[in-house]
Structure formats: C-alpha cells, structure tokens
C-alpha cells in the first residue's frame, strides 16, 4: 500500500458525502485500514525485508512532501 491507495480510499469513501463529520470519519477509516494492511504486510516479511520496505515507504512519503513544497513555492511565486 502507498499514499496513492490512501487517496483512492479517501475518494471512494467521501464520494457524495456532504457532512464534514462524515468526511472526517471516512478519512480516519481509510487511514486505519491502510495502517492495518501495512502492519500485516510488514509482519509477513523477514526483518531485513521489512526494513527495506519501510525505508522505501518513508522515502516515497518524503518525496511526496518535497514535491508538494516545491509546487506550493512555485504557485506562491506567481
């Protein structure tokens, strides 16, 4: 699983929902489901494979945050 999966979960759970509290609950449900699936995926591997997978996930998240910061900086400069 990755952040793209979390975004797809969020989009699917909040499609057509108008209430802010329901959207918040849908987001939290998506985050919990993704966290549980990630834990089970990492528990099913050896320690070294799990660390490698975890470092890739953290690297991808760092890259996504960096891209977001650059995008906001470029848009703010315009």
Domain boundaries, the chain: 1-44, 46-78
Return the half-sphere exposure (C-beta side, CA atoms, 13 A cut-off) of residue 19.
5
Q: What is the pLDDT of residues 11-49, one digit of tens each?
A: 676 666 677 777 778 778 878 888 888 888 778 777 777
- pLDDT at position 32 is 87
Query: Which pLDDT band, with edges at 50, 70 and 90, does 2 fall under?
Result: low
Whether the predicted model's global pTM rises above the 0.75 cut: no
More confident: 9 or 57: 57
């Amino acid at each position: 699983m990755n952040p793209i999966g979390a975004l797809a979960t969020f989009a699917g759970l909040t499609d057509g929902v108008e209430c802010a509290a329901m959207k918040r609950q849908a987001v939290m449900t998506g985050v919990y489901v993704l966290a549980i699936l990630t834990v089970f995926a990492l528990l099913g591997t050896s320690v070294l494979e799990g660390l490698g997978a975890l470092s890739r996930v953290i690297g991808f998240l760092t890259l996504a945050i960096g891209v977001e910061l650059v995008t906001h900086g470029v848009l703010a400069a315009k």
